[in-house]
Amino acid sequence: MKALFVIALGAALLSACGTGPKSAAGFRLPDGDAAAGRQAFVDLQCYACHQVEGVDARFEGTPAAAVKLGGEVSLVKSYGQLVTSIINPSHRIAPGYPRDVVAPEGESLMEVGKVNDVMTVQQLTDLVAFLQSVYQVVPPQAYPYGYVYP
């Protein structure tokens, strides 16, 4: 089972090099089921640190960080980006979250919690399908006088 996961992990990392949700280049895991991904989100206790609108499960302790997932974005969250964010969460920490809180000593709390040791490949593909369904791409706003600083 671990050998299968290592192969899938390597292949998924390679798929992150693609250009879109259905990249023609590289390897791609099969499509998942969004409803099963929602259940995997709860079963794997992703809600301990992540918030998704419509998922009511709440961690009863003190979460290290409340990282919101989903909502309106100006760029598509590609299949490869989502897979990479799940299996290699330390590769990029979302702006606005203190790195020392969500990744003490440079390692994401998802890695500290050993999520990849218990998550199946099916749960991974289902989670990606679920997460793709909670993002809405909106065009960036046009500003008549150029760039607006946040």
Contact between residue 71 and residue 53 where contact means Cβ atoms under 8 Å apart? yes
| pLDDT reported for residue 90 | 72
Direct distance between the N- and C-terminal alpha carbons of the chain, in angstroms, rounded to an integer: 46
| pLDDT reported for residue 148 | 56
Is 121 in a helix, a strand, or coil?
helix
**What one-letter code names the amino acid at 21?**
P
Contact between residue 40 and residue 105 where contact means Cβ atoms under 8 Å apart? no
Side-chain-side CA neighbours of residue 136 (13 Å): 5
CA 110 to chain centroid, in Å, comes to: 11
Alpha-carbon gap, residue 97 to 18, rounded angstroms = 27
Which stretches of the chain score pLDDT less than 50? Answer: 1, 3-7, 9, 12-20, 23
Could you give the domains of the chain? 2-137 (1.10.760.10)
- Long-range contact set of residues 61-64: C-beta below 8 Å, sequence gap at least 24: 64/101, 64/102, 64/109
And the tokens for 95?
A: 């702006």
